[in-house]
């Protein structure tokens, strides 16, 4: 994927609030319930606040998706902890088939999928559809649909573990960018 292609897709996305409002009132309520409970620890907030390389993120998602409801409010909380360094754009996967087709997981259209880009939209990496802690929780339950229903309650420990997984992924991307010889030369550090 070329950087200009990624930049066009990033610019086509919506801000979190606009994306959530694009759903039905029930979907909006489901997303708001998780967002209201999602919080970074002070250590996580401090870590994310220390990021000094720009991370542009494209989040392929579905407003109807239970995993998206349970994880993307966490992503937004991470972005809010350092809006100068993290810019997340939310795209509906079904409206952006060209991009979705390039990031299929295990042969399927899984969401959420986050594409992490440098400040100039060079692709750094992509991650989806669930963090390890989310997979562990789903595997432990082994009941019901493979994708939780939107609005289903999320255990507080599960949410905290998923938040840490996502913070770790953002830290990994930031360190990759911070240690990039290309960007170190550009920024003189």
Asked, for residue 8, whether it belongs to a domain, the answer is yes
Asked, for residue 132, whether it belongs to a domain, the answer is yes
Q: Is the pLDDT score of 58 beyond 60?
A: yes
**CATH code of 97's domain:** 3.40.30.10
Question: Residue 137: its pLDDT value, please?
Answer: 81
Q: Is the pLDDT score of 139 beyond 90?
A: no
Give tens-digit pLDDT for 42-56.
999 999 999 999 999
Any alpha helices (H) in the chain, and if so which ranges? 3-12, 16-21, 25-37, 42-49, 66-80, 97-100, 132-141, 156-179, 181-187
Asked, for residue 26, whether it belongs to a domain, the answer is yes
Selection from 172, 178, 84 nearest residue 131 by Cα: 172
> Which range of residues forms the domain containing residue 156?
3-183
Asked, for residue 189, whether it belongs to a domain, the answer is no
pTM value is 0.91
- Stretch 74-94: mean pLDDT, rounded? 98
Domain tally, the chain: 1
The two structure tokens encoding residue 129: 């559809």
Full strand arrangement of the beta sheet holding 113-117: 86-92, 55-61, 113-117, 123-128
Q: Is the pLDDT score of 145 beyond 80?
A: no
Spatial distance between the Cα atoms of 174 and 78, rounded to a whole number of angstroms: 13
Asked, for residue 188, whether it belongs to a domain, the answer is no
Asked, for residue 145, whether it belongs to a domain, the answer is yes
Helix 132-141 to helix 156-179 angle, to the nearest 10 degrees?
Answer: 150
The two structure tokens encoding residue 158: 């599960």
Higher-confidence position of 142 and 91: 91
Per-residue confidence at 143, pLDDT binned at 50, 70, 90? Answer: low
Asked, for residue 143, whether it belongs to a domain, the answer is yes
Per-residue confidence at 180, pLDDT binned at 50, 70, 90? Answer: very high
């Amino acid at each position: 994927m070329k950087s200009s292609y990624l930049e066009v897709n990033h610019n086509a996305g919506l801000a979190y609030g606009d994306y959530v409002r694009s759903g039905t009132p029930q979907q909006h309520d489901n997303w708001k319930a998780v967002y209201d409970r999602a919080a970074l620890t002070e250590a996580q907030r401090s870590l994310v606040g220390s990021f000094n390389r720009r991370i542009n993120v494209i989040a392929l998602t579905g407003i109807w998706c239970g995993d998206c409801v349970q994880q993307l409010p966490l992503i937004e909380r991470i972005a809010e902890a350092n809006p100068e360094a993290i810019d997340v754009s939310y795209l509906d996967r079904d409206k952006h088939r060209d991009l979705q087709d390039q990031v299929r997981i295990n042969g399927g259209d899984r969401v959420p999928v986050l594409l992490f880009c440098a400040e100039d939209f060079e692709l750094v990496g992509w991650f989806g559809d669930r963090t390890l802690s989310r997979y562990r929780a789903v595997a432990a339950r082994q009941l019901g649909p493979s994708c939780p229903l939107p609005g289903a309650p999320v255990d507080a420990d599960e949410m905290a573990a998923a938040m840490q997984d996502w913070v770790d992924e953002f830290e990994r991307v930031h360190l990759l960018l911070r240690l990039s010889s290309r960007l170190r030369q550009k920024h003189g550090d």
